[in-house]
Structure 1
Amino acid sequence: MAEVRPDSASRQRTRANIVECAAQLLREQGASAVTTRAVAQAVGMQAPTIYRFFEDKDALLDAVAEHVFATYVSGKTLVEDSGDPVADLRAGWDTHIGFGLANAALFGLLTDPSREVRSPAAAAGLEVLRARVHRVAAIGRLRVPERRAVELIHAAGTGAVLTLLSTPPEHRERDLADAMYEAVMRSILTDMPTLPADSTTAVAVAFRAVAPKLTMLTGAERALLSEWLDRTGDGPTTPGASAGPD
């Protein structure tokens, strides 16, 4: 491993100090308090010096998001691939809700639709959700396409946190998030991994999840198979529904 030069180590310490000071301002005074001038003053440097470490304010906020989330999860017992994909999905939901309620100002920034570029921290979280949904699909428990499941869970989780945050703490119904999760699961999960014959969508979604691993097929064959399965997975799921006119 290459030795870290003193100047590099000093730069890393300064950068970490900037992030910590910005996180403290955000936590104690809200998003409006996190200005370049205020952060620089808290650190004890000139405002332009901040730009030697961060391209702009959004880059600083992204670093704060990563720092705060890492600090949050370090104190939690997280379920990582426990062997039960459905339980792992629930664990991820609980972490999302808990983090949002514990970090209201930061959550608001991460979900702000006016930001031109999606936060890397938010994007990384979405990738984790996609991976967990994919594992659920692979065991035959999804009744909808993976993308649809991800969008529903993401929308429900974000909405649940924002709704709770908009309610005074003493009036919050903490079981709202649980009720939201159960409602979404009823719409996207099958009851059992052993699929009935008429659950063509669930079968297609499960097969689609493992199709890329079928190495006995050529790349072109796997791509064609995936396209066919995508069409099947997006088809009607109501018994008796038709894909078109008779």
Structure 2
Amino acid sequence: MIAASPGEEISLRAICDAVGVKMPTLYHFFGSKQGLLEAVIERGFDLYLSVKSAHESTGDPIQDMRDGWDAHVAFGLANPGFYTLMYGKVRPGYSPAPQSRPSEILLELARRADAQGRLVVPPEQAAAHILVTNIGVTLRQIVLAQTDRTLSDAVRDGAIAAITGTAAAPGTGRADIHRVLEHVAAHPDTLGLEETAMLSAWLRRLAAADDAVGQ
């Protein structure tokens, strides 16, 4: 019913009639309509994570963030009924427990990127930045009922640039350093692991020195 009418209110009576049970039976298992919806939300996250787990890691946390962004948008567009329940029903102070599962995956990627010296913000802020922009882009496309890959790619790349420090205009010392650092870290096979680690360490020292001069 949710899939057939995304965003529409679903009647408990209609659900009971479709399943062939009485209202007390539904309340026995789920407690309330909200309890039933939370079970559906959890099912939605199960489906979402099964799609994400089908994608193998590239070994590069930043590239995995890009791929995860695209998988997130694709799931939302393919399952607008589930998605609007998962991320579109907003109540102050309320966050469905299953929302934490994909958030933890994203945070782990951010921590790996941070350990490689590729973030200019704390990993918690980086993960939040990616998640909120990803949700916003997906909901906009659902609201407009049309795919906008150009917008999604632009916002994705802008969010990645913001957390990796590559968003400033070319010629800005700090941004140029981080662009090289990001490229080196994303292509470790070009120079080899030892050389990549050495160059990355030098670039981080240059970035830190540039920050000190700026202060």
Short-chain TM bin: 0.7 to 0.9
Which ranges of structure 2 fall in alignment gaps of 5 or more residues?
A: 165-177, 186-199
| 1:159 aligned residue (133, 136, 141) | 136
2:153 matched to which residue of 1?
178
**Amino acid of the residue matched to residue 208 of structure 2?**
T
2:163 matched to which residue of 1?
188
Aligned-pair identity (%): 30
Q: 1:132 to 1:196 in 2, by over 3 A?
A: closer
Aligned to 1:133, what secondary structure does the other structure show? Answer: helix
- CA deviation map 1:181-202 (0-9, x unaligned): 101111111432413324239x
CA distance in structure 2 between the aligned counterparts of 1:75 and 1:185, rounded to whole angstroms: 22
2:17 matched to which residue of 1?
41
Structure number with larger C-alpha Rg? 1
Aligned to 2:99, what secondary structure does the other structure show? Answer: helix
Summarize the alignment of residues 124-139 of structure 1 with structure 2, pairs less than 5 Å apart.
Answer: 124-139=101-116
1:90 matched to which residue of 2?
66
Aligned to 2:2, what secondary structure does the other structure show? Answer: helix
Q: Which has the higher helix share?
A: 2
What's the C-alpha RMSD, in Å, of the aligned pairs?
A: 2.5
Task: Assess if the C-alpha contact under 8 Å between 1:78 and 1:91 holds in 2.
Answer: no
Aligned to 1:144, what secondary structure does the other structure show? Answer: coil
Q: 1:76 to 1:128 in 2, by over 3 A?
A: closer
Which ranges of structure 1 fall in alignment gaps of 5 or more residues?
A: 1-24, 202-236
**Amino acid of the residue matched to residue 85 of structure 1?**
P
**Amino acid of the residue matched to residue 34 of structure 2?**
D
2:191 matched to which residue of 1?
none
In the comparison of the two structures, how many residue pairs are matched?
181
Question: Which has the larger displacement, 62-71 or 150-159?
Answer: 62-71
CA distance in structure 2 between the aligned counterparts of 1:34 and 1:42, rounded to whole angstroms: 12
**Amino acid of the residue matched to residue 48 of structure 1?**
P
Deviation at 1:81, TM superposition (A): 4.1
**Amino acid of the residue matched to residue 34 of structure 1?**
I
CA distance in structure 1 between the aligned counterparts of 2:32 and 2:93, rounded to whole angstroms: 13
Aligned to 2:136, what secondary structure does the other structure show? Answer: helix
**1:105 is the counterpart of 2:81:** yes
- CA deviation map 1:95-140 (0-9, x unaligned): 2111111122322222222265311222212112111211111211
1:15 matched to which residue of 2?
none
TM value normalised by structure 1: 0.64
Deviation at 1:27, TM superposition (A): 0.5
- CA deviation map 1:132-174 (0-9, x unaligned): 21111121111111122112111110110111112242xx422
